[in-house]
Amino acid sequence: MKNILSCLLYILVFCFSCQDNNQKRLAENKKEMARKELLFSTIEKGWVFYDTPINETAETSIKTWTELRMFLEELAKKPKKTLGAFQQKASVLSKTVMNLNNNIPLEFDKPQIKSRIAVVITKVRMMDLYIHLDKIPAEKVVQLISEINRELATLQREMDKTVEKNKIPLEEGETELKQMLDSTRAIPTTGPNNVITIE
CB 89 within 8 A of CB 79: yes
In this predicted structure, what is the pLDDT of residue 57? 79
- What's the Cα-to-Cα distance from 42 to each of 34, 76, 83, 125, 192, rounded to whole Å? 12, 18, 11, 20, 73
Given a cut of 70, whether residue 194 has pLDDT beyond it is: no
Q: Mean pLDDT score of the chain, rounded to an integer?
A: 80
Q: What is the pTM of this model?
A: 0.71
Band of the pLDDT at 185, cuts 50, 70, 90?
Answer: low
**7-16, 35-44, 190-199: which has the highest mean pLDDT?**
35-44
**42-51, 88-97, 100-109, 155-164: which has the highest mean pLDDT?**
88-97
CB 162 within 8 A of CB 107: yes
In this predicted structure, what is the pLDDT of residue 188? 60
Q: In this structure, which amino acid lies at residue 4?
A: I
Q: How far is 128 from 49, CA to CA, in rounded Å?
A: 14
Mind giving me the DSSP string for 115-177? HHHHHHHHHHHHHHHHHTSSS--HHHHHHHHHHHHHHHHHHHHHHHHHHHHHHSPPPTTHHHH
